[in-house]
Amino acid sequence: MSEPIPLRAGALAMCFDPSEGQLRWLRYGQREVLRGIYGAVRDRDWGTASPRIEELVIDRRDDAFEVRFLAVCQRDDIDFRWRGTITGSPDSEVRYHFEGEAHSSFERNRIGVCVLHPIRECAGQPCRITHPDGSEEMSTFPDLIAAIQPFLQVAVMRHNVAPGVDVEVRFHGEVFETEDQRNWTDASFKTYGTPLELPLPVRVERGGKVIQEVVVRLLGAASRVESTPPDDHVLTTGAALTLPRLGFSHGGARSRLDDVATSRLATLRPAHLRVELHIDGAEVLDDFNAAADDAARLGADLHVALILDGKPDPRVDRIFEVADRLPTPVAEWLVLPRGEQATPVDWMRRVRGQVATFDASARVGGGTNAHFAEVNRERLTPDVADVLTYSVNPQVHAFDDVTLVENLAGQSEAVRSAKAFAGDAAVHVGPITLRSRAAHASVAASLTELPPDADPRQASAFLAAWTLGSIVALAREGADAATYFELTGCRGLLGDAAQRDLPAPFGPFAATVYPVFHLFADLAELVAHTSRELVAATPDILTGLITDDGEAVIALLANVSSQPLDCELPFVASKIRMLDANSASEAALSSDAFRATWQSSSSRRIALSPHSYVRVEGRRDA
């Protein structure tokens, strides 16, 4: 994301993202009215043809603006280009006009304008929907995550944003509807066209045109009020947190640990290792044995996800025969279909019965190896599963750092909704990865090219900060367990010497630890302590937790924004260790030296670098 450009239309303040052609954070005072408005081009498989912005012209005035640009969207056989014209007027009206033409023939699932509504301000709140035929109905933004679209056939949407002030959003050029994007851990509701009830994909012929417009207006006694977030970030001690049991993904036989990796990872004291056993895989038994051996060496529980193409068949029996002979039992069995669907109840019952014949103490669960949406649409019978599981990646709809951070709130929401229908089943979130793992099983490993599910941010300080935010978000709503990343390699916690020829940053860090390793090392040291959340007025940019054993105080903080922050702690700091872009190389190449290096302090105030993870130790005031 490029540096956002502040704009104002009367009482509405917002930012324009010149890298995406998107309006972001439309605010009335401190209240977010809309999370964003943007144009989207999605292919037949829901892949995004990201725009290249050209011919950008911005005319800014004190209370009005006009933005014009050309968005070139090219991906595989897609060549679609649209002109965006965005205007804001002194009477608090914003128009987003989308006019595009296909320069090739292709199949699409979506082309047009999308509007994002923030969950913090909207969830559980009433709204009025006007349909294309002019009829109106009163409705409510869902509190818990809606499995199906809450609003259909939307022409106008209106809801309250402040005492005496409403926002009205009008949609032109298409039939729109609203979905609950928390199903994919986005922190928003999205109103879009074309309705999903219509057949997809749609054939787009070269020369075909799409014209849409969204008009946003504040209604009522709206006046210009300050919308700038506070510069003084004061942290207070919040509610108690029970952290989820933290574990990691094991890559099977290809990821068997050597002695150096085992020694490093043992310091993290993982609660479990989770291995996915694709039942039709040629090396499935090798994968199982490798994961079992490494779990035993690390003192971690072993969790097995059985990935099945069809009903459990005799091939599963081979897995159970090996499990029955293991010196360390499998603590948790997860029965998951391949692809994007949820576990059928009869699969669960069958596997539960088989596992009970050799280990009555093992937990047996189900859910999905894909997104929360799947278990929300096809809910497990509560008395069948000991565990409900789903995976998380924060880049289903957008890919920039800011969106990844905003979507941390969506992780909390998914746990809250899961707890509402899971009954007595534990909620186990994972694997949590930066990118979708869908392509991993079908793409051959390369020693010189990044696989499609690798993200360069895996080796960044940003990931350490983001992961702390994720753990706090999951703990806030009581997730029982969470599985993060892999142990080694470009999706992991440690570099892999076999990947020394990969592009930066992975090649240079092939024999090192990644910055996120240090977060889990700190958490391992605090596992016996009682934690509480550190609460900030700006939770989307500053998050953390604090432990206090009566004498020493330890805080783990994350500045997940791209700007430096000054913050005030609820205690006096005595020493600080900061992991940021400047110290990431030292933290990776000289891990022990980095962990032994501290900055002295005697103040409540500390300065946080952009995208930094910080450990602070100190004392309570006498």
Other beta carbons less than 10 A from residue 138's beta carbon: 8
- What is the reported pLDDT for 551? 73
Asked if residue 391 lies in contact with residue 368, where contact means CB atoms within 8 angstroms, the answer is yes
Are 141 and 62 within one domain?
yes
Angle at Cα 593 formed by Cα 587 and Cα 598, nearest 5°? 90
Query: Mean pLDDT across the stretch 285-303?
Result: 96
- The CA dihedral of 204, 205, 211, 212, to the nearest 10 degrees, is 0
Counted residue by residue, the chain has a size of 622
> How many contiguous H segments (helices) and E segments (strands) does the chain have?
12, 37
- What is the reported pLDDT for 441? 41
Are 189 and 247 within one domain?
no
- What is the reported pLDDT for 228? 63
3-state helix, strand, coil in the chain (%, to 5): 20, 40, 40
- What is the reported pLDDT for 444? 39
Residue 523 lies in a domain: no
Q: Look at the chain and report how many structural domains it folds into.
A: 3
DSSP string, 387-443: EEEEEE-S-SS--SHHHHHHTHHHHHHHHHHHHHHSTT-EEEEEEE-SS--TTGGGS
Are 183 and 301 within one domain?
no
- What is the reported pLDDT for 510? 83
- The backbone region for 46, taken as left when phi is positive above 0, alpha when psi lies in -120 to 50, beta otherwise, is left
Q: Is the pLDDT of residue 553 over 70?
A: yes
Residue 497 lies in a domain: no
Interatomic CA distance for residues 422 and 385, integer angstroms: 9
Nearest Cα neighbor of 278 from 184, 369, 193 is: 369
- What is the reported pLDDT for 619? 85
* Token pair belonging to 92: 């608090």
* Token pair belonging to 461: 């300080």
Q: What is the pLDDT of residues 39-52, one digit of tens each?
A: 999 999 999 999 99
Are 329 and 363 within one domain?
yes
Q: Which residues contact 143 (CB under 8 A, 6 or more apart)?
A: 123, 124
- What is the reported pLDDT for 229? 61
Q: Residue 311: which pLDDT band, with cuts at 50, 70 and 90?
A: confident
Q: How far is CA 325 from CA 318, 322, 609, in A?
A: 11, 5, 51
Q: What is the pLDDT of residues 485-524, one digit of tens each?
A: 999 999 999 999 888 888 888 888 888 999 999 999 999 9
Residue 392 lies in a domain: yes
- What is the reported pLDDT for 486? 96
Q: Residue 140: which pLDDT band, with cuts at 50, 70 and 90?
A: very high
- Strand 176-180 vs strand 151-154: parallel, antiparallel, or unpaired? antiparallel
Q: Is the pLDDT of residue 439 over 50?
A: no
- What is the reported pLDDT for 137? 96
Question: What percentage of the chain carries pLDDT values higher than 90?
Answer: 82
Q: CB burial class (10 A; 0-12, 13-18, 19+) of residue 539?
A: middle
Are 214 and 151 within one domain?
yes
Interatomic CA distance for residues 79 and 73, integer angstroms: 6
- What is the reported pLDDT for 226? 65
Interatomic CA distance for residues 122 and 138, integer angstroms: 14
Nearest Cα neighbor of 84 from 76, 75, 72, 74 is: 72
Asked if residue 116 lies in contact with residue 130, where contact means CB atoms within 8 angstroms, the answer is no
Are 208 and 298 within one domain?
no
Residue 480 lies in a domain: yes
Label each residue of 501-512 as H, E or C.
CCCCCCCCCCCC
* Token pair belonging to 169: 């959003």
Stretch (H or E) spanning 305: strand 301-308
Are 154 and 250 within one domain?
no
- What is the reported pLDDT for 428? 98
Interatomic CA distance for residues 529 and 519, integer angstroms: 16
* Token pair belonging to 429: 């979130």
Are 215 and 248 within one domain?
no
Note down the domain range covering 245: 241-438+461-489
- Strand 426-432 vs strand 481-488: parallel, antiparallel, or unpaired? parallel
Asked if residue 447 lies in contact with residue 463, where contact means CB atoms within 8 angstroms, the answer is no
pTM of the full predicted structure?
0.94
Q: Is the pLDDT of residue 231 over 70?
A: no
Q: Is the pLDDT of residue 540 over 90?
A: no
Query: Mean pLDDT across the stretch 214-230?
Result: 79
**What is the average pLDDT score of the chain?**
93
Are 216 and 245 within one domain?
no
Are 10 and 146 within one domain?
yes
Nearest Cα neighbor of 543 from 526, 521, 519 is: 519
Phi, psi of 470 (to 5 degrees): -65, -45
Interatomic CA distance for residues 556 and 520, integer angstroms: 11
* Token pair belonging to 575: 């020493």
Query: Mean pLDDT across the stretch 90-118?
Result: 97
Q: CB burial class (10 A; 0-12, 13-18, 19+) of residue 73?
A: buried
What's at 286, amino acid-wise? D
CATH code at position 376 = 3.20.20.80
Interatomic CA distance for residues 157 and 170, integer angstroms: 7
Query: Comparing 75-79, 556-560, 607-611, 617-621, which segment has the lowest mean pLDDT?
Result: 617-621
Q: What is the pLDDT of residues 469-486, one digit of tens each?
A: 999 999 999 999 999 999
- What is the reported pLDDT for 447? 66
Q: Which residue has the higher pLDDT, 281 or 526?
A: 526
Q: Is the pLDDT of residue 67 over 90?
A: yes
CATH code at position 135 = 2.70.98.10
> For the sheet containing 233-234, what is the strand order?
233-234, 565-568, 605-608
Query: Mean pLDDT across the stretch 370-397?
Result: 93
Asked if residue 292 lies in contact with residue 328, where contact means CB atoms within 8 angstroms, the answer is yes
Residue 447 lies in a domain: no
- What is the reported pLDDT for 497? 86
Asked if residue 336 lies in contact with residue 366, where contact means CB atoms within 8 angstroms, the answer is yes
Residue 503 lies in a domain: no
Query: Within its chain, how far is the Cα of 443 from the centroid?
Result: 23
Query: Mean pLDDT across the stretch 556-560?
Result: 96
- What is the reported pLDDT for 282? 81
Residue 454 lies in a domain: no
- What is the reported pLDDT for 438? 57
Are 469 and 593 within one domain?
no
Q: What is the pLDDT of residues 409-426, one digit of tens each?
A: 999 999 999 999 999 999
Q: Residue 437: which pLDDT band, with cuts at 50, 70 and 90?
A: confident
Are 293 and 430 within one domain?
yes
Interatomic CA distance for residues 52 and 467, integer angstroms: 30
Q: Which residues contact 61 (CB under 8 A, 6 or more apart)?
A: none
Q: Is the pLDDT of residue 442 over 70?
A: no
- What is the reported pLDDT for 13? 96
* Token pair belonging to 391: 């995976």
CATH code at position 574 = 2.60.40.1180
- What is the reported pLDDT for 508? 85
Asked if residue 71 lies in contact with residue 39, where contact means CB atoms within 8 angstroms, the answer is yes
Residue 606 lies in a domain: yes
